[in-house]
Structure 1
Amino acid sequence: MLIEFLMDYAWVVWVSLILIFLVIEVFTLDFTFLMLALGSVAGLASSFTPLNFWVQIVIAAVVAVALIFAVRPPLLRRLGRGADPTLSNVEALLGKPGTVATDFVAGNGYVKLSNGETWTARVVDHSTHPLATGDRVVVISIDGATAVVAPAERTAL
């Protein structure tokens, strides 16, 4: 009884799946559900043949998996090709030069970076080289809201 119903109305199931996958794709924009929708289109096309419903499911699954592994990765690379290569956030600060704004006490102080921002800073190794106002530094890393810096002479950039 269920098999007969699925054979008669398989197209309704496939159209419903296509619509569900397309709606999910609109919200995720990851192309995974688009590939599943295209696999469902293959299932829909096979529903107009005398194939059993389980064979239609296998056809849809094979097409969807093939599209996910063969079409989706190049499509994502193609879309990412025109991305802005400008670094931002923490990545933009790494390696940025600056000058010491206040003398460092116990390895902590303030630095003014070349982009004009003033940051609370900590020296990587304050025991070997105390920093004074005007010394040149380079940002090594960011730890929360603190720039970890090293004297410019000791960094190879």
Structure 2
Amino acid sequence: MPAWLIWLILAAGLGVAELFTLTFVLGLMATAALVAALLGAIGLPVAVQIIGFAAATAAGLVFVRPLIKRQMDRTPDARSGADALVGRSAVVLQPVDGDQGRIKLSGEEWSARCIDEDLVIPVGAHVDVVEIDGATAVVYPREALPEGSALEETGPEETDDNNQSGRA
């Protein structure tokens, strides 16, 4: 059996092993085995093939693997879909309370509810998305709301009356 065929078989075996380990080491060695197979196919002696294999492996481990590792480590928390919206900021389009409301989130209009059921967030306020519950964004105000924004559903008139009666 010719030496280049042995290198090809070794390259295939290392490539399959790489699929199970995902360390990038065996894949680089498989590529180096292909280099050695090419050297054998053009008729160079086995010693030159081994040196070619060692040099290609070393070059891959020193130069290529760090680049691959850096790329793979760059996006450890790549969220997508609704999960990617958690933590984003939005603007209130319709007052948001514990049951309903509308916000503009990432350029789209979403139904929303406040995580604090006693709070009513006014139009124009900035909110942070705490979670996505189905098609509803659960939000909390980004800044402290102005006095009188946290109103009950009874309206501002009754709240002002209650405050005045509490002072007397």
Give the TM-score of the pair, scaled to structure 2.
0.48
Are 2:2 and 1:9 equivalent residues in the alignment? yes
Residue equivalent to 1:125: 116
CA deviation after TM superposition for structure 1 residue 12, in Å: 0.8
Kept in 2, the 8 Å contact 1:141–1:148? The answer is: yes
User: Can you list the C-alpha shifts for 1:130-156, whole angstroms capped at 9, x where unaligned?
Assistant: 21552613123332433221123239x
Change (3 A) 1:63 1:95: same
CA deviation after TM superposition for structure 1 residue 49, in Å: 2.3
Structure 1 residues without counterparts, runs of 5 or longer: 1-7, 82-86
Whichever residue aligns with residue 151 of structure 1, its letter is P
Matches of 1:72 and 1:135 in 2, distance apart? Answer: 49
Specify the structure having the higher radius of gyration (Cα). 2
| Structure 2 SS opposite 1:108 | coil
Residue correspondences, number:
130
User: Can you list the C-alpha shifts for 1:51-110, whole angstroms capped at 9, x where unaligned?
Assistant: 9xxxx6xx95896487346522225647999xxxxx975546633231152552xx2313
Matches of 1:132 and 1:154 in 2, distance apart? Answer: 10
CA deviation after TM superposition for structure 1 residue 116, in Å: 4.2
Residue equivalent to 2:45: 48
Matches of 1:110 and 1:60 in 2, distance apart? Answer: 65
Matches of 1:60 and 1:140 in 2, distance apart? Answer: 54
| Structure 1 SS opposite 2:66 | helix
Change (3 A) 1:65 1:140: farther
Of all paired residues, the percent bearing the same amino acid is 22
Matches of 2:36 and 2:123 in 1, distance apart? Answer: 70
Mapping for residues 99-138 of structure 1, pairs under 5 Å: 99-104=92-97, 107-113=98-104, 115-127=106-118, 130-132=119-121, 134=123, 136-138=125-127
Residue equivalent to 1:149: 139
| Structure 2 SS opposite 1:141 | strand
Matches of 2:92 and 2:58 in 1, distance apart? Answer: 55
- Equivalent in 74, 79, 85 of residue 67 of structure 2: 74
Q: Which segment is superposed worse, 31-40 or 112-121?
A: 31-40
RMSD value, Cα = 4.9
Matches of 2:121 and 2:80 in 1, distance apart? Answer: 29
Give the TM-score of the pair, scaled to structure 1.
0.50
Change (3 A) 1:149 1:102: same
